[in-house]
Structure 1
Amino acid sequence: MWVDRSLPADTRVVGARRLRGGWTSEMWHLETVDAEGTPNAPNGVVLRSFVREFFRRHAPGLLEREARVLDLLAPGPVPTARLLAVDPTGGHADHPSLLMTLLPGGLRLGQSAGEPPAHIDHRVRSLARQLADIHRFEPAPADRPRTWQAWTTADRVRLPADPGRPEVWRRAVELIRREAPAPGTYRPCFLHRDYHLGNVLFSGPPGGERITGVVDWVETSTGPADLDVAHCSASLALLHDADTALGFADHYLREGGRDLAANPADRLYWYLLDALALAPDAEKVATAWRGAGRPDLTPERAGVRLEEWLVALLERFDR
């Protein structure tokens, strides 16, 4: 078996459990032991497999990119898994797959109600600090990831069937019907490109937890820091509220993050381009988050919060 051949000598798999929180792929924690039957520290590896047909078709590019990024980041300050093996076409495993070490910690998506604001603030500040560290990473020119790609366009946005405020959606779509801000208006940097609480692992007590891992590097790109800030902000709007989301950029800048767009219209463009990719109802991410401890994020609630996020962005930046 490909997994067995990819593990260190005298290591074998003795158990497996499905990990929650993923959407594009299946994630499995494989428990391993050494020749004497002693659990390996940190007790296993992670197998990522693309099983849906759409992602199987794109798996070679996605998995090869993630494998390169894990190798690039291995000696650096960003807590990432160590690559063990990759089978981007599924020629050896049952599906296109990547095998990596297990990182400590787990997801902290917050609570549906009653969580102390200080706990949320600590988590958001930790997210901002880690993102600033990611953006400071500068690979050699030959190792730079691909240039960023838009996940939607004005003509591809799927609008809700019955929006609460249709004029907000129309205005948001209108505002991304333009050329993206030119590269000369920002300093391109190393982007995670899918940075949010569903891809960050924490350890420690609530309100004092620390980040122990950043996962899911298949979309890693080179581009404006605004894109990662926008994506993480949108996730905070869905998990918490628009005020928490709007505050993320301030935390990011205080933690030494890259300069964000100086022109409010450009800043709004990046936010809306990301938010509208979640339309019509953000169910794509809400499905995974419900299974990872947030059952309150029903399709209806996710849709309402996405619309509230658009409203907040227009009120803040659309002058």
Structure 2
Amino acid sequence: MSNHDEAAALRPLTLAWVNRHLKLGERIVGIEALHGGITAEMRRLTIGTRDGGTRNLVLRTFVNVEHAEDWLNREVGALTLLPGTGVPAPGLVAVDPTAAHCEYPSLLMTHLAGRTVLDDEGLEARVPLLARQLAAIHAVLPAARPRKYVALTTADTVVVPQGADAAAWAAAIDVIREPAPPFEGRFLHRDFQPGNVLFDVPPSRPAGARITGVVDWAAASWGPADLDVAHCSVNLALLHGPEWGLRFPEAYEEAGGVLAATANERLYWQVRDGLASSEEVRQVSQPWREAGRTDLTTRAVEGRLDDYVSALMNTLG
């Protein structure tokens, strides 16, 4: 077995657990740490098969995470629901949500082809793909509803970036002081954004990209489609500029998605998720830099968030 870096090594109990869920005659021949995750350790396992070939699995391990059991149960629920829906998601192999067998709560799943794409090049072609994929997720009708969405941000926890437009942020915070508007529930990914979508991109033709997978279903829940749209919008704004955050809801509707009926209701969800990002700027920008977007310093991302929140209040308010 070859480890590509020291962080890839499996802990003894976890290694034994994985081995018990391989097919007869298979063995682990390679382990590689995957970067970009925030809440969990991710590893790609290369499995040697009986016929001399290989296949890949992905191991997701939650280390010292308070809500690991809930998140893993949500993810298992989603991965069990999605086969046959047309939504490309990993296949469930095994789960240990309470660390009964592994050192930490763990999930073993199939590996999907493709890669995340965070560059500006080809974005105009990818945004409609993201919108269509999200509309397809919202069209899934689970036999049993997952748990209701969680939105932890409050008017008191918002972190206003240094040098931000104080008037715009004060107005935005006032928006989320109001009760959430009524909504028609949908199946939500709840962390749908470019970092959780895999693409196949022809090297010579970025505009020919296609989606090969949607990953990280640990927050799957039931709630307003607007919330998923708002989350992807703010991530596009931080990655590529505020104009792309404003563009995404239009692309979603063009793809057949249905948003809240009134501008004020839409504004509520857009602002709520935008302000939620204020508490996580450092956390989300680091994986982006590790993935090659070294221009996305914490300060640069804070500036884009300020511009986006201000644009929301000017354009939709």
Contact 1:280 1:303 in 2 (8 A): no
Equivalent position SS for 2:44: strand
User: Kindly, what percent of the aligned residue pairs are identical?
Assistant: 47
Contact 2:236 2:244 in 1 (8 A): yes
Match of residue 39 from structure 2: 24
Displacement of 1:144 in angstroms is: 1.2
Displacement of 1:136 in angstroms is: 0.6
Aligned match for 2:186, one of 189, 193, 196: 189
Match of residue 317 from structure 1: 316
Match of residue 159 from structure 1: 160
Equivalent position SS for 2:59: strand
Match of residue 175 from structure 1: 175
CA RMSD of aligned residues (A): 1.3
Match of residue 246 from structure 1: 246
Corresponding residue pairs, total: 299
Q: TM-score, normalised by structure 2?
A: 0.91
Structure 1 residue 132 corresponds to structure 2 residue 141: no
Match of residue 103 from structure 1: 112
Give the Cα–Cα distance (whole angstroms) in 2 for the partners of residues 201 and 79 of structure 1: 9
Q: Which amino acid aligns with 2:246?
A: L
Contact 2:74 2:221 in 1 (8 A): no
Match of residue 9 from structure 2: none
Structure 1 residue 90 corresponds to structure 2 residue 119: no
Give the Cα–Cα distance (whole angstroms) in 2 for the partners of residues 284 and 147 of structure 1: 24
Contact 1:25 1:48 in 2 (8 A): yes
Match of residue 60 from structure 2: 48
Displacement of 1:94 in angstroms is: 2.1
Q: Which amino acid aligns with 1:16?
A: I
Alignment of 1:252-267 (within 5 A): 252-257=252-257, 259-267=258-266
Unaligned 5+ segments in structure 1 are none
Q: Which amino acid aligns with 1:133?
A: A
Q: Which amino acid aligns with 2:187?
A: F
Give the Cα–Cα distance (whole angstroms) in 2 for the partners of residues 297 and 144 of structure 1: 37
Give the Cα–Cα distance (whole angstroms) in 2 for the partners of residues 159 and 246 of structure 1: 20
Closer/same/farther in 2, CA of residues 280 and 188 from structure 1, 3 Å limit: closer
Give the Cα–Cα distance (whole angstroms) in 1 for the partners of residues 27 and 177 of structure 2: 54
Q: TM-score, normalised by structure 1?
A: 0.91
Displacement of 1:262 in angstroms is: 2.1
Equivalent position SS for 1:14: strand
Moved over 4 A (4+): none
Displacement of 1:37 in angstroms is: 3.5
Match of residue 90 from structure 2: 81
Give the Cα–Cα distance (whole angstroms) in 2 for the partners of residues 19 and 308 of structure 1: 32
Equivalent position SS for 1:222: strand
Unaligned 5+ segments in structure 2 are 1-15
